[in-house]
């Protein structure tokens, strides 16, 4: 069930703007410094309001992620102990049995976000690093279908930021990813995405294309 954001809710700020009702956001970043410059204020605002934070991180970079949170004045240990901060390495989230299963992932997000609400959190701020899709794993070809289908199950009260490293994805994958998110941040500017395609239409287009020819491959894009 999709809920409309309450008229009485506090505004959610990201990249110097207030989020409207469309809250599945694609963040295109050129490096980690640019990414965290925008993510940290958004994350800290959520903690200050008592909201849940769920972050999916490269397992090799979890320590770095925690240090960046601490640099913003976030009491990582306290929030982790209370359950307000939940860190999940992407092996655990996306590849629990060694392969990516989009149906399982969509069920997981529904369960995670529902459980947070049942635990008393008015909102969950979800941040997911997306370079897992570049790994040599079964199922990662389904990235685009997964991103499109997420729009069908996403509850608008919970802002979701999918963070993509522009240096590592090919231009054609970036263009398709762009079309699956109603909001984007690129070049430091948050905006409604003029290239967004409604999920039913995008999924129909994918079916017409037929089987994908290979996974999302790393490339020297926008270096």
> What tens digit of pLDDT does each residue of 182-216 get?
999 988 899 999 999 999 999 999 999 876 533 33
Place of tokens 């149906």: 103
Q: How far apart are CA 179 and CA 200, in angstroms?
A: 12
In the chain the domains, ranked by start, together with CATH numbers, are 27-209 (3.40.50.300)
Predicted structure pTM score: 0.88
Q: How far apart are CA 149 and CA 146, in angstroms?
A: 5
> What tens digit of pLDDT does each residue of 28-60 get?
999 999 999 999 999 999 999 999 999 999 999
User: Mapping DSSP to helix (H, G, I), strand (E, B) and coil, where does residue 69 land?
Assistant: helix
């Amino acid at each position: 069930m999709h809920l409309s954001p309450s008229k009485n809710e506090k505004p959610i700020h990201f990249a110097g703007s207030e989020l409207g009702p469309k809250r599945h956001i694609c963040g295109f970043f050129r490096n980690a410094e640019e990414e965290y410059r925008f993510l940290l204020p958004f994350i800290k605002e959520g903690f200050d309001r008592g909201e849940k934070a769920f972050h999916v991180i490269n397992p090799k970079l979890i320590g770095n992620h925690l240090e960046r949170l601490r640099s913003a004045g976030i009491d990582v240990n306290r929030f982790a102990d209370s359950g307000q901060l939940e860190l999940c390495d992407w092996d655990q989230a996306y590849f629990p049995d060694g392969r990516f299963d989009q149906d399982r992932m969509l069920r997981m997000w529904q369960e995670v976000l529902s459980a947070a609400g049942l635990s008393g959190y008015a909102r969950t701020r979800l941040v997911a690093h997306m370079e897992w899709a570049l790994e040599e794993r079964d199922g990662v070809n389904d990235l685009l279908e997964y991103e499109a289908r997420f729009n069908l199950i996403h509850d608008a009260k919970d802002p979701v930021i999918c963070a993509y490293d522009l240096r590592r994805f090919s231009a054609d994958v970036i263009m398709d990813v762009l079309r699956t998110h109603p909001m984007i941040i690129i070049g430091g500017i948050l905006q409604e995405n003029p290239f967004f395609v409604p999920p039913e239409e995008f999924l129909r287009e994918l079916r017409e294309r037929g089987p994908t020819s290979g996974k999302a491959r790393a490339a020297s894009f926008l270096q």
